[in-house]
Chains A and B, each alone.
Chain A
Amino acid sequence: MIKRSLIWGTLAVATMLTPAFAQDSTVRIVLNEEVDLLEPCMSTRSNIGRVTLQNINETLAFLDLREGGGLQPKLAESWEQLEDGSWRFHLRQGVTFSDGTGFDARDVKHSFDRAMDPSITCEVPRYFGGMTIEAEVVDDHTIDFKADPQQPILPLLLTLISIVPEETPIEFVREPIGTGPYTLTEWTPGQRIVLSQRDDYWGEMPAVTGATYLFRADPAVRAAMVATGEADISPSIAALDATNPATDFSYLDSETVYGRLDHSVAPFDDLRVRKALNLAIDREAFIGTLVPEGALLATAVYPPPTLGWNEAVEVWPYDPEEAARLLEEARADGVAVDTPITLIGRTANFPNNVEILEAVQQMLQEAGFTVQLQFYEVAEFEDLYSKPYPEGRGPMVVVAMHDNSRGDPSFSMYFKYASDGRQSGISDPKVDDLINRAQAATGDEREALWKELHAYLHDDVVADLLLFHMVGFSRVNERLDWTPTMATNSQLPLADIAFK
C-alpha cells in the first residue's frame, strides 16, 4: 500500500518537475514592433510578412536565398514563358484554403487584381510601376500573365502576391484566409497573435504546431526574454546583446546604408568633390566597432547575393591626402568646395546611426569639408529623401538604409538612379539606358548589363557615398533548430523551424 502510493507519488512529482517545454511543439516569437495589420496584400511590409508569409498565406513561388537556390515552386508547380512573351503558370492541385474552399486559377487572378486595386492602396503596386499586367484564367489550374512591356522576371515579381480566396472583399481583412499550414486563432491587438496548425494543409506538416507572436520595442528586453525562456526566437536583437554563441546568430540582412548625393547642387556636381567624399571615409575602421563584425563594405545599394553583383568593383580606399588634393584642385577651378554640407540622418534608423554619422562627419571635416549634422524624424526625412526635393536646399548627403532581398537589382535601380527615380540624385542618359535594357533582358545578358551598371555608377559616375551592408542578430532558444537567413527580415516561415 505504502509502496504503491510511494510510486504514484514519485511519478506525480517527476511529471511536475519535467520542464513544461519538453513536449511543447509551439514556439513563441518576439518581434520588434507591433503588427498593426494582417492584410495579405500588405505582406511586403516586413512586420506583417514575418507573421503571414508562408504561414497563413502562400505565394505562387518563393525565392530561396541560399547558395544556388533561386525560385522554387510553391502554389505553382511549374511555369514557362510562351511565344508572345506572357508567362504561363501551372497550379498545384488538391489545395484548399483554411475556410474549406478549393484553390484554383480564379483565386490567383482575384488575388492579383485585388492587390493592384487602387481603392485599397496595398504596398504591392509600387513593384509593378511602369508596366501593365493582365491575368488571364486559362482553366482551373492554369493561368497566364501578360505583361506590357515584357517582364523577364515576372515569376520573381509574382512572389510578392499573397494568394487569397476569390471571395475576399476589396478591403483590408482582419482575418486572413490562405493556403498555408496555419490559421489565425487569436489576435489581441498590441499584445499577441496566435497561429495554429490546420489539418488540411496540402504539403508536409511542419514540426511546429502553433506560434505565439509577442511585441517588445526594446532590444534588451527581447534578448532577455529568450534568455529567461519567456520567448523562443527573437529575430532581431542588438549586436551588443549577441554574446552567447550557442543562441545568438548573425546574418547579412540585405539592408544597405548609403549617403545619397544630389548632383544638381554644387559642389556635388563636380566629380572630384564626389571622389574626395568617398576617399575621406575610413570604412574599415567602422567594422567591429560601430558596425558589427560580419557587415560588408558596400559598392552598390543591393547586397552581394543579388544577380548582377560585380565582384570586380573595388571599395574606395581610405586616402585623406588624395581627398584633400582633389578638393584643392576643385577649389582652384572655382568650385564652391567650402559650401557647408548637411549630413542628414533619420532618427532610430539603424543601431548606432548617431555615432556612425558623427564619425563620418569628423572624417569629412578632417579631409577639408565643412559639414553639419542634422537628424530628422521619419516624416521630415521622407520629404528630403524623396522627390520633390525642397527648394533652396544646400548640398545634402542624405544617409538612408535601403532593403533589397529580392535577388534582382531592378527592385532598386530605377528608384535610386533613373532620371525620374523618386530617390535619384542623378540624371544620366547612359544610366537610364542601361536600366531600361537590363530590365528587359534575360539570362546572361541581364547579368552582364547589371554588372556594367554597377561598375559605371560606382567608378565613373561616383553617384553616392556607399557605406555598409548591414548584419542583423537573432537569438534562438537552444531547444530549436533554426538559424536566420537574409530573408529573415521580411519573412519567418514556421516550417523552417525544427526541434532538437
Chain B
Amino acid sequence: MMSFIRKRAFASLISLILLVVAVFFLSRLTGDPAALYLPSEASEEMRRQFREIHGLNDPILVQFGRYVWDLLHLDFGDSVRRARPAFEVVSEAFLWTLQLAVITMTLVTVAAIVVGSMAAFRVGGFFDRIASLTSLIGASAPDFWVAIVAIVVFSVGLGWLPTSGTGSVWHWILPIGVLFIRPFGLIVQVVRGSMINALSSAYVKTARAKGVKTRPIIFVHALRNAMLPVITVIGDQAAALLNGAVVIETIFGFPGVGKLMIDSILQRDFNVVLAAIMITAIAIFLMNLLIDLAYALLDPRIRY
C-alpha cells in the first residue's frame, strides 16, 4: 500500500503543478486588476504605477518565473486587494469552510445511509415514498430560498436562532441545516438505489435462505457492497463543499473560501485565487486518495 500511496502522491503533485500553471496563465488572460482596484476616473498614469508596484508590467513568463521562485520559498505573494499575504487570507477562510464541510458531510453521511437503507428495505412502501419525496425536493430546491425562508421563520418570526454570523453554537445551526439538504437528498437516492440492488442479490438471498434472520447482519453485508458508488458521490459533494458554499457564506456571513474565491476572481486578485485553488486542490486530492483506499477496504476484489 505504501508504494501505492507514494505513486499517488507523485501523480497528484503533477496534477497540482498542471493546475497551478493552467490557472496562472488563464487567469491573467482575463483582465487588468488595476482597472478593478482603482476607480474608473483614475488616470492611466496611476494604473501604470499600480501595475508597476505589483509586478504586472513584466512579460508574463517573467511573472511566472518570479511566482514559481516565490512559491519554492513558500511565499504565495500578497493579496493586492487586502495588502496582506495571500496565504494568510486563504487559510483563515479555508478553516471556516473546512469546519462547515466536515460537520455537514458527517451528518449527511450518517443520516443519508440510514434513511436510504431503510427506504430500500421496503421498496415502494410508505417510508420509501416519503423519504424519496422529501429528499428529492431538498436536492432540487434553490439554496438561497431555503436559507432566507429559514431565517425569516426561525430567526425573525420565532426568534429561536440568530439570523447570521459566527458567534456561538446556535449560529451554526441554520447554515449547516441549509447546507445539509442538497447532499442529503442526492445521497439518499444513491444509497437507496445501490441498496435495492444489493438486497436483491444472490448472496443476500442465500443468507436469508440459510436462515440468517437478523436484519442487521443482512443490512451490513448488503451495505458494504452498496457503498462504492455511495462514497464516490459523497466525495463529490464534499469536494463541492470544500470549494466553498458561496450562497451560505454570503447570506450567513461566514467568511469562507467560496465567497473569497468569487470576490477574488471578480477582482482579479490573482495571488489569492491561486493560493485558494492550491489549498482546496490539496484537500480534494487527499480526500480522493482516501476514497480510493476505502474502495480497496470495502471490496477486497478491487486491485489497483
Do A's and B's CB atoms come within 8 Å in the complex? yes
Our pick among A34, A126, A174, A216 for the contact of B41 (Cβ within 8 Å) is A126
Task: Say whether A423 contacts B35, CB under 8 Å.
Answer: no
Given A39-B83, A227-B156: A221 touches B41 (CB 8 Å cut-off): no
**Would A121 and B49 count as touching, CB distance under 8 A?**
yes
Give chain A residues whose Cβ lies under 8 Å from the Cβ of B38. Answer: 121, 123, 126
Q: Is B82 an interface residue (CB 8 A)?
A: yes
User: Does A37 sit within 8 A of B, measured CB to CB?
Assistant: yes
Give the chain A neighbours of B49 by CB distance below 8 A.
118-119, 121
Which of A397-454 touch B at CB < 8 Å?
Answer: 400, 415, 422-423
Asked if A379 and B151 sit within 8 Å, CB to CB, the answer is: no
Across the interface, do B253 and A216 meet the contact criterion of CB distance under 8 Å? yes
**B176 on interface, CB distance cutoff 8 Å:** no
Q: Does B70 interact with chain A (Cβ within 8 Å)?
A: no
Most buried by A among B38, B83, B267: B83
- Classify the interface of chain A: helix, strand, loop or mixed: loop
- Looking across the interface, which residue of chain B has its beta carbon closest to that of A35? B82
Shortest CB distance A470–B (Å): 17
Contact A379 B163 (CB under 8 A): no
When the two chains form the complex, which single residue of B36, B40, B250, B259 contacts A379, counting CB atoms closer than 8 Å? B36
Answer yes or no: A285 CB below 8 A from chain B CBs.
Answer: no
A214 within 8 A of B: yes
**A34-B163 contact given A119-B53, A227-B156, A382-B35, CB 8 Å threshold:** no
Given known A121-B49, A218-B251, A383-B31, contact A228–B42 (CB-CB < 8 A): no
Q: Which residues of B contact A386 (CB under 8 A)?
A: 35, 40
- Say yes or no: is B239 at the interface (Cβ < 8 Å to chain A): no
* Structural contact, B266 and A379, CB atoms closer than 8 A: yes
B77-99 vs A, Cβ < 8 Å mask (1 yes, 0 no): 00001111000010011000000
Chain B residues whose CB sits within 8 angstroms of the CB of A45 once the complex forms: 39
Does B24 lie at the interface of the complex (its beta carbon under 8 Å from any beta carbon of A)? no
Q: Inside 8 A of A189's CB, which chain B residues have their CB? A: 82, 84, 89, 92, 255
Which residues, 38 to 54 on B, are CB-close (under 8 Å) to A? 38-43, 46, 49-50, 53
Q: Which residue of A lies closest to B51 (CB)?
A: A121
For B30, the chain A residues whose CB sits under 8 A away are: 379
Chain A 191-238 interface residues, beta-carbon cutoff 8 Å to B? 191, 214-218, 220-221, 224-225, 227-228, 230
A377–B36 Cα distance when bound, in Å, is 11
- B39 pairs with A126, CB closer than 8 A: yes
Given A123-B42, A126-B39, A422-B41, A378-B156 contact (CB < 8 Å) = no
In the complex formed, the residue of B with least CB distance to A227 is B156
A contact residues around B260 at 8 Å (CB):
190
Q: Is B165 positioned at the interface, with any CB of A under 8 Å from its CB? A: yes
**Given the interface contacts A129-B43, A190-B92, A190-B93, does A121 sit within 8 Å of B31 by beta carbon?**
no
B68 within 8 A of A: no
With CB as the reference atom, state the residue of chain B lying closest to A422: B41
Given A125-B46, A189-B89, A230-B165 in contact, is the A422-B40 Cβ separation under 8 Å? yes
Q: Taking A121-B50, A230-B163 as contacts, is the C-beta distance between A221 and B31 under 8 angstroms?
A: no
Which residues of B lie under 8 Å from residue A378 when comparing CB positions? 36, 266-267
**What is the CB-to-nearest-CB distance from B238 to chain A, in angstroms, rounded to a whole number?**
23
For chain B, give the interface size range: 35 or more
Indicate if B200 sits at the interface (CB-CB under 8 A): no
Let me know if B155 is at the binding interface, CB within 8 A: yes
Beta-carbon nearest neighbor of B44 in chain A: A422
B134: interface (CB < 8 Å): no
Q: Is B159 an interface residue when CB atoms closer than 8 A count as contact?
A: yes
Is A385 an interface residue, CB under 8 A from the partner? yes
Q: Which residues of A contact B267 (CB under 8 A)?
A: 378
Interface status of A84 (Cβ within 8 A of chain B): no
Find chain B residues with CB under 8 A from A99 CB: none
Closest residue on chain A to residue B249 by CB atoms:
A217
Chain B residue nearest in CB terms to A388: B44
User: In the complex, A126→B40 CA distance in Å?
Assistant: 10
| 8 Å CB contact of B148 from A220, A230, A385 | A220
Q: In the complex, A123→B266 CA distance in Å?
A: 19
Closest Cβ–Cβ distance, residue B270 to chain A (whole Å): 12
Pick from B46, B92, B164, B268: contact of A121, CB below 8 A. B46
- B162 close to A (CB within 8 Å): yes
The reply on B15 being an interface residue by CB < 8 A is no
Chain A residues lying within 8 Å of B159, measured Cβ to Cβ, are 228
Shortest distance in angstroms between A40's beta carbon and chain B's nearest beta carbon? 13
Q: Does A36 contact B (CB under 8 A)?
A: yes
A220-B156 Cα distance, complex, nearest whole Å: 11
CB distance from B247 to the nearest CB of A (A): 9
A34-B255, A422-B41 known; A172 vs B31 contact (CB < 8 Å): no
Query: Is A83 located at the chain interface by the 8 A CB criterion?
Result: no
Q: A121-B49, A218-B250 are in contact. Are A224 and B156 (CB under 8 A)?
A: yes
Give B240-259 interface residues, CB cut-off 8 Å to A. Answer: 250-253, 255, 259
Task: Give A389 Cβ to nearest chain B Cβ, in Å.
Answer: 13
How far is the CB of B32 from the nearest CB of chain A, in Å?
7
Q: Closest Cβ of chain B: how far from A442's Cβ, in Å?
A: 23
A343 to B184, CA, bound (A): 43
Q: Give bound CA distance, A415 to B39, whole Å.
A: 11
Query: Whole-angstrom distance between the alpha carbons of A8 and B255 in the complex?
Result: 45
Which residues of A sit under 8 angstroms from B50, Cβ to Cβ?
A: 121
Is B255's CB under 8 angstroms from A191's CB?
yes
Contact between A379 and B152 (Cβ–Cβ < 8 Å)? no
Whether the pair B253, A379 counts as a contact (CB closer than 8 A) is: no
A383 to B121, CA, bound (A): 60
Selected contact of B163 from candidates A118, A190, A225, A422, CB within 8 Å: A225
A355 within 8 A of B: no
- B interface list, Cβ under 8 A from A: 30-32, 35-43, 46, 49-50, 53, 81-84, 89, 92-93, 148, 151-152, 155-156, 159, 162-166, 250-253, 255, 259-260, 266-268
Q: List 29 A-B contacts (CB under 8 A).
A: A36-B82, A39-B83, A45-B39, A121-B38, A123-B42, A126-B39, A174-B83, A189-B89, A189-B255, A190-B93, A190-B255, A190-B260, A191-B166, A191-B253, A214-B165, A214-B253, A218-B148, A221-B251, A224-B155, A225-B164, A228-B163, A230-B164, A230-B165, A378-B36, A378-B267, A379-B266, A385-B40, A422-B42, A422-B43
Known: A224-B152, A415-B41, A423-B40. 20 other contacts (CB 8 A): A119-B49, A120-B53, A123-B42, A129-B43, A189-B82, A190-B92, A190-B255, A217-B259, A218-B251, A224-B163, A227-B156, A228-B159, A378-B266, A379-B35, A379-B266, A382-B36, A385-B40, A422-B41, A422-B42, A422-B43
Give me the 7 closest cross-chain CB pairs, A-B, nearest first.
A190-B255, A379-B31, A172-B83, A415-B41, A36-B82, A382-B35, A217-B250
